[in-house]
Amino acid sequence: MGTSPLLSLGMRAMFANQAALQTIGQNIANANTPGYSRQDVVLTTPDGQFTGAGYFGKGVNVETVTRSHNEFLTREAAAAKSQAFMDTTMQSQLGQLEKLFPTGSDGLGQATNDFLNALVDVASRPADPSARQVVLGKAQDLASRFQSAGQQLADLQSGVVSDLNANVKQVNELAKQIAAANDQIARSAGTSHTPNDLLDKRDQLISQLSQYVQVTTVDNARDGTVGVFIGGGQRLVLGGEAQQLAVTPDPYDGTRAQLSISDAGGNRVLDDSTLTGGSLTALLRYQNTHLQDARNLLGQMAQALASKVNDQQKLGIDLKSQTGGPLFTVADPTVLPAVTNRGDARLTATVVDGSKVPALSFTVTPDPTGTPDSYQIAVRPSGLPTLMTNDQIKAAYGVSLSQTGTMQQGDSFLLEPVANAAGSFKRALDDPNGLAAAAPIIATTDVNNQGTATVDTLYAVNTKFDKSKQPATVQFGTVNADNTINYTITLSDNTSYSGTWKAGQAIGNDPANGVDLGFELRINGAPRQGDKINMQVSDQVVSTNNGNAKAFLALQSTPFVGKQLQTDGTLSRGQTVTEAYAAAIADVGSRVQGADYLAGVSTSVASDAETTRASQAGVNLDEEAAKLMQFQQGYQAAAKVLQTAQNLFDQLLSIAGGR
């Protein structure tokens, strides 16, 4: 046997060790590169060569270079990252929303109380212009706070649309890069070797894409490409082709946005319920749920407060001896047609009872039977449609619809009773003399009374108060064993109503017991049998008539926000403005708290998933350093073999030349 096999062995060994050293160097160089998978040289022993003395080895072959990659762990890490980005994005957005509901002196609840408390001085001095001016100042402050909150909500909505556009731009760019990587990988499919760096690059791009929207990948074993799908199976990348996402206007409200994907038939809307994970999903859900709920909660308070204050103003008398005019104004409910409507119908809405208006938005579609003044109403975004007449809508939601033109099947409208109420809340009264502090009715106790009863407050409470049935008297009868006392109200037309009075109870405004005359009389002390209170109309303002100012003060403890129609036809209690604002703070606070918890959990899960993936696919510098020494020694030994073979060859040449 000559020296040629020994030379071949040395050369193969040197090449193999050099390849291993080059791969180790690549690993060390990319030890801190995100998404890099550790590479390893696969060495194999070729079949030996048969000789008469047996089989002799032919050295070592470099078969290929592989990467340490676990498909399952890679997908789990990407999915966990997608969930973490969705939760942290939602946490950030809700944190901004929470700032719109401050507590203490900066809150809307306190501003409402300040406005109503300012009427204490008016109740004490009904004709005092300075006290009246303070009330108007507090009314302006309240209006400014509502307007500021409404503007901040509009700014948050604009920010969501801006973020959606920025995220979609990134998604489209990543989709193009994944498609390009697919194309490059497909071109190398016939080489029987895996393009490790390209595969790492594609995995890293998919991981980055998962930050914006969770994806599902499907491998193509034939050419090595992967299909990337979102939103319940919508194709984003297939082979070397990438679809494009787009931010398109809401079909009803152009200030809001929706997510669409382009295909051969145009843009197809992606419902946020079909999307999972990623910041895009969080932004859409925040816009469609949390931000809209906040607008409705603030709008409900603004609408209920404006309606209640204005209604009480109408029941009082101002310093000009006129019926009080509106103190606040808010925009009418918003009714927006869908861009796909084919009919010429137009819908408008007005509030008929501010205490019933819910913090909700609705879609309105035509009655399938074509019945006039009847609609299908569904709570947006996912409520089931309910067939209701306009009278039923008024009874349930305090809103009346008015239609012109004809609705066609398939037409729809967005009804937002209060979404714009906060931003449009304004003070309408500028003249202090226009504040209706006097009540249209006054009362005096009869001089012959034997009890200690005195008039505390008397004012009109609703439009059932009828001046034509005044004057009237309240005659007290027998005292019952439980210290209550019977009474009879006799109006000027000789109609009478009977009831039972107990301490703290109103007279004349007791609908539960059949007495609803549109006024409320409260007394101090205790009447005796035979005592009488005389009531009469007061169209002229006198310095002591503060009945309507006291009615305003009573609004602090009156529940007039969010009353709901019960199945038995009665109305629920509702909430005071302070209670409604506290409930809104609690609602938003609980959402923020939940988002904080989910963000913490999902971030921890994503970190653990990435650590697990990296522990298998990542580079361990200590391990690589050990391998570096190992293959360096192997390379040096192979070089020694080659040197020995060279010396033997030279000696053979020398021997042959000496002959």
pLDDT given at position 347:
94
Summarised one tens digit per residue, pLDDT across range 283-297 is: 999 999 999 999 999
Strands 54-56 and 386-389: unpaired
pLDDT given at position 384:
92
d(CA 39, CA 619): 9
H or E element in which residue 413 lies: strand 413-416
Q: Are 259 and 172 in contact (CB under 8 A)?
A: no
Strand, coil or helix: what is 498? Answer: strand
Summarised one tens digit per residue, pLDDT across range 429-467 is: 999 999 999 999 999 999 999 999 999 999 999 989 999
pLDDT at 5 over 80: no
Closest C-alpha among 249, 210, 248 to residue 230: 210
What confidence tier does 659 reach under pLDDT thresholds 50, 70, 90? low
d(CA 420, CA 188): 59
Mean pLDDT of the 510-529 span: 89
Mean pLDDT of the 257-264 span: 87
d(CA 216, CA 203): 12
Summarised one tens digit per residue, pLDDT across range 329-367 is: 999 999 999 988 998 999 999 999 999 999 999 999 999
**CA 134 distance to own-chain centroid:** 38
What confidence tier does 572 reach under pLDDT thresholds 50, 70, 90? very high
Instruction: List beta partners, residue 375.
Output: 366, 388
Closest C-alpha among 418, 414, 429, 413 to residue 332: 418
CB-based burial, 275-293: b 16+ in 10 Å, e otherwise: bbbbbbbbbbbbbbebbbb
pLDDT given at position 1:
47
Closest C-alpha among 588, 106, 91 to residue 359: 588
Strand, coil or helix: what is 405? Answer: coil
CA distance to 83, 85, 600, per residue, from 605 (Å) = 9, 12, 9
Q: Tell me how many degrees the CA angle 447-452-455 measures, rounded to the nearest 5.
A: 75
Q: What are phi and psi of 441, to 5 degrees?
A: -145, 140
pLDDT given at position 540:
62
Q: What is the DSSP letter of 225?
A: -
Mean pLDDT of the 365-389 span: 91
Check residue 499 and give left, alpha or beta (phi > 0: left; psi -120 to 50: alpha): beta
pLDDT given at position 473:
95
pLDDT given at position 653:
77
Q: Which residue has the tokens 């990407």?
A: 78
Which residues fall within 8 angstroms of residue 279, CB to CB, at 6 or more apart?
85, 86, 89, 163, 167, 211, 212, 213
d(CA 315, CA 463): 8
Higher pLDDT, 652 or 485: 485
d(CA 282, CA 272): 9
Q: Are 479 and 501 in contact (CB under 8 A)?
A: no
Mean pLDDT of the 305-312 span: 96
CA distance to 6, 10, 487, 646, per residue, from 3 (Å) = 5, 11, 131, 8
Q: What is the 3-state secondary structure (H, E, C) of 512-562?
A: HHCEEEEEEEEEECCCCCCCEEEEEECCCCCCCCCHHHHHHHHHHHCCCEC
Quote the percentage of the chain above a pLDDT of 70: 98
CA 451, 456, 459, 461 torsion: positive or negative? negative
pTM exceeds 0.85 for this model: yes
Report the amino acid identity of residue 49. Answer: Q
Summarised one tens digit per residue, pLDDT across range 212-240 is: 999 999 998 888 899 999 987 889 999 99
Laid out side by side, the sheet with 226-230 consists of 216-219, 226-230, 234-238, 241-242
Strands 245-249 and 257-263: antiparallel
d(CA 146, CA 421): 9
d(CA 85, CA 610): 14
Instruction: List beta partners, residue 334.
Output: 416
Q: Are 436 and 318 in contact (CB under 8 A)?
A: yes
What interhelical angle do 108-117 and 292-314 show, nearest 10? Answer: 10
Instruction: List beta partners, residue 457.
Output: 522
**Does residue 527 have a cis peptide bond before it, meaning omega lies within 30 degrees of 0?**
no
What confidence tier does 2 reach under pLDDT thresholds 50, 70, 90? low
- Asked which of 42-56, 234-248, 255-269 is least confident by mean pLDDT, the reply is 42-56
CB-based burial, 349-377: b 16+ in 10 Å, e otherwise: bebebbbbbbbbbbbbbbbeeeeeebbbb
d(CA 453, CA 449): 8
d(CA 35, CA 95): 32
pLDDT at 485 over 80: yes
H or E element in which residue 124 lies: helix 119-124
CA distance to 76, 143, 188, 442, 577, per residue, from 299 (Å) = 43, 12, 61, 36, 12
93 C-beta neighbours (distance < 10 Å), count: 24
pLDDT averaged over every residue in the chain: 91
